[in-house]
Amino acid sequence: IRVNGGDAENIGLRDYEVSLLRLIDKLTNGTKIDISEDGTAVRFNPGVVKGGRRLTHECATSRGIGYYVEPTLALGLFAKKAIDLTLTGVTNDDADVSVDVFRTVTLPMLKKHFGIDDGLALEVERRGCPPGGGGRVKLSLPIVKALPTLDWCDEGLVKRVRGVTFTCKVSPQNGNRMVDAARGVLNAFIPDVYIFTDHHVGPEAGNSPGYGLTLVAETTTGCVLGADAASTACMSAMSEASNLDWAKDAEGRVPEDVGRRVAEALVAEIQRGGVVDSSHQSLALILLAIGPEQVSRVRLGQLTPRAVETLRVLRAFFGVTFHVTPEPDSGTIFCSVVGVGLVNL
């Protein structure tokens, strides 16, 4: 693993990858993980996914909590017991899917199209921005016996856009500035746009200042597409008591830049097509592959490099091959597969 990284600091496993292995160890029973001294080799013997209540895990702050939630969703559905997991760390950063996207996009997708409803919830108790983190999220995940057959190809038309901005340890005016910038892009396409503002102070704001925006587009057929962005570590974030209401992040961006960027990203996701956005392609493909031994089908936009890699991994581990049929008129593709029939015994 990264044996040709040059200097000694860039070889081997990263801290967030080791943290993910520790989380998998907590969710399973009998798993054996051996990491070499320099971190360039891992021997992994999988155990049984057990789940359980009152589990806690402190995530590495170099990646967002979303990096840990996605594998937990795919793994925890086939656990022995329902999972009640509390994760601490960075809730919103500019590298991983935010917890707001999981709450407003991923969970509704699992409830509506995969029949996973009883007890499925994600609650953001505290916000945490990079580099300090300090956020806390509670994930409740039920178990399933088997996943249903899926024929999910009707993407529909966008009927409304909803969103939420958050501000932590900076002036609440930054939230309003992101809303104005996002609406400046979206109102040219659709009038039904409503964005909530969420201001945090004290312990609920985590350890570092920051701000961000999440937008969600809902279609007439019940599909949900999301886009999000957050400030990188704020260099000049003003305190709430200050009269100055501006805050630049480490890349020199102001709140208006974040608002426009997220709105344009959402429009790009809609233009891409498909019943899920690009950040959910991999999860949808995984759930189809472990579904029943019948043909399941889904319409996706242009495949991301991560989705292509997911298809290769699924073929290597499960021996399933997706049949990919492009539709030139819309630029979308149909992915169909006969699942492996994974059943929770």
Residue 117: the pLDDT is 86
Residue 6: the pLDDT is 61
Residues written for the chain: 345
Residue 5: the pLDDT is 59
Q: Which helix (H) or strand (E) holds 44?
A: strand 42-45
pLDDT at 238 over 50: no
Residue position matching structure tokens 């967030």: 16
- Other C-beta atoms closer than 10 Å to the C-beta of 295 total 15
* Nearest by Cα to 142 from 193, 90, 80: 80
Which is higher by pLDDT, 236 or 17?
Answer: 17
pLDDT at 240 over 70: no
Residue 318: the pLDDT is 95
Average pLDDT of the chain to the nearest whole number: 91
pLDDT (average), residues 231-239: 56
pLDDT (average), residues 145-160: 94
pLDDT (average), residues 274-284: 95
Q: Which residues of 224-239 are buried (b: 16+ CB within 10 A; e: fewer)?
A: bbbbbbbbbbbeebbe
pLDDT (average), residues 1-17: 83
pLDDT (average), residues 24-49: 95
Residue position matching structure tokens 């996943």: 147
pLDDT at 239 over 60: no
pLDDT (average), residues 274-283: 95
pLDDT at 9 over 80: no
Most confident of 126-130, 200-204, 215-219, 227-231: 215-219
288-336 pLDDT tens trace: 999 999 999 999 999 999 999 999 999 999 999 999 999 999 899 999 9
115: left (phi over 0), alpha (psi -120 to 50) or beta: left
69-125 pLDDT tens trace: 999 999 999 999 999 999 999 999 988 999 999 999 999 999 999 999 889 999 999
pLDDT (average), residues 256-261: 94
β-pair type (28-29, 48-49): antiparallel
Kindly state the percentage of the chain with pLDDT values over 90.
82
Residue 232: pLDDT band with limits 50, 70, 90: confident
This prediction has a pTM of 0.91
